Chain A
Amino acid sequence: MDYQFDFVLVLRSLPVLLRGLLVTVELWVPSIFIGLCAGFLLSLARLSKSPWLRMPSLFYIELFRDTPVLIQLIWFFYAFPIIIGVQLSPFAAALLGLALNTSAYSAEIFRGGIQSIAQGQWEGARALGMRRSKILQRIILPQVFKRMLPAFTNRAIEVAKMSSLASVLSVHELMYQGRLLSSTYYRPLEILTTVAFIYFVLIYPGTWLSARLERRLAAKA
C-alpha cells in the first residue's frame, strides 16, 4: 500500500463539498419539520375510531415503511409528476419524498407514545370534564414528548442519511458533489473518504444525544 493520499486535493475540494453540505441541510431540516407535523396528524388518523381515517393512514404508513427510500425518491421525481401533470425539480421531488417518508415513520412514533400513556390519565382528565383535544394537548402530549425524544432524534439521523440519496436525482447536495468531484479528479479514495467523514461529523452528535437521552430516561424510570 504505497498509495499517496493527496491531502491538498482534499483541501481544495472542501469549499465545494461544504456547499453541498448546505444543500443537504436545506433538504434535511424542512423534511423533518414537515414530516413531524404531517406525522402527528397521521397518527391521530391512525388512532381514530373511524375506519375511513384509520385504514388509509395505515396503508400509507406501511407503504412508506415497506419500500426502499430510493424507490420513493425516484417515484416522486419520475412517476408522481405524471399524476399531477406538473414537472417537479429534483430538489422538490427529494424534499417531498423525504418529508412524506418521515411523516410515516414519525406517525408510528407518535402513536407509540400516545398509546404508552396509561388509561388512567385519560380517565382522570375526562373526569374533570376535558374534551379529547384538550386532554391530548394539555395532559397526554407533554408527557409523551419527552419519552419520544430519543426516537425523534433517531429519525432525524435517518433522514440525514437518507438525504444522500437525493444525489441519484442530481440534487446538488453533499453526496452528489462528492461523486462529481471524485470522477472529475479521478481521486475517489480522497474525496469519498472525506465525504464520509463530513457525514459522520454531521450525524454523530445526533447519535450521541439520542443515546444520552435514552440513558437519562432509563435512569428516571
Chain B
Amino acid sequence: MTEPILRVTDLQKYFGDLHVLKGIDFSVEAGERIAIIGGSGSGKSTFLRCLNFMEMPSGGTIALDGKPIGKPHGRDGARRYPESELCTVRERVGMVFQQFNLFPHMTVLENVMEGLLTVKGMRNAAARERAVRELEKVGLGTKLDAYPGKLSGGQQQRVAIARALAMEPEILLFDEPTSSLDPELVGEVLRVIRQLADEGRTMLLVTHELGFAYHFATKVIFLADGVFHEVGTPDDVLKNPRQERTRAFLERFTEFGF
C-alpha cells in the first residue's frame, strides 16, 4: 500500500455553536480523483477549505506526507498553525473557487505570474514562460493582456485554474467550479478539468454536476450531517447507493431528469 499524500484524522469544525464537521477520517493517495457531493449547507465547502486552511480546523489533524501540520495547542485538541507552515501547505495544495477570485487589478498573465513571483520567487522571464504555457493549456493564450473584468465567467474560471496549476500543486481542490457560470459556459470549464484528470493529477472536486462526477471521479463521497455518509466508486455511490439517505439525495436530482 502506498503512503497517502494527505491524511485527515478526526477532523472537527465548529462555527460558534454550529458543529459542521463531526470527526472525519480520510486520506488522499496520488492520482486519486475524489468527488464530494451532498446537500446544501452540509459542509462540503467547509471540509474542502479545511484541507488548505482557508478555514482553521477546530480539532483533529491534517498530515501531508505523514507529517502533521501545526503544533498541538491548548486542551481541546485545537492546533496552532504558524503562517510560514500554512504558506508551504497552500503552495502544495492548490484551490479553485466558485467565484474565481481573480485579482481585478492585474491582467490575466499577471494573475498567473503572481504566485510564481511572490511565493516561488521565480524570475520574471521564467515566471512569464510558465504562465503563458499554463494559459495556453486552458485555451487562453490569446487573452494574456486582458483584465479579468473583460472576460466571460468561463474564461475567468479557466484563468483561475491556470493560476492554480502554475504553482505545480500536488493536490488541486475545486469548490463548485461551475456553479456560478451560465449553463452554456459550464462545458468549457469541465473539459479543462477532465484534461487534468487525463494527466493523472490528484484532485478533489465539490460539485452538483453528478453526471460529470460519475465520469470524472475514482471515488465519490456523500457528505451529510458532518460525516462521510457513504464512500465508494462512482458506480457504488451514484448508481447503487446502499444508504437510504444517499438514495433520497440522488432522487431529488433525477426528479426532473430525462
A–B contact at 8 Å CB threshold (below) = no
B residues whose Cβ falls under 8 Å from a Cβ of A: none
- CB within 8 Å of B: which residues of A? none
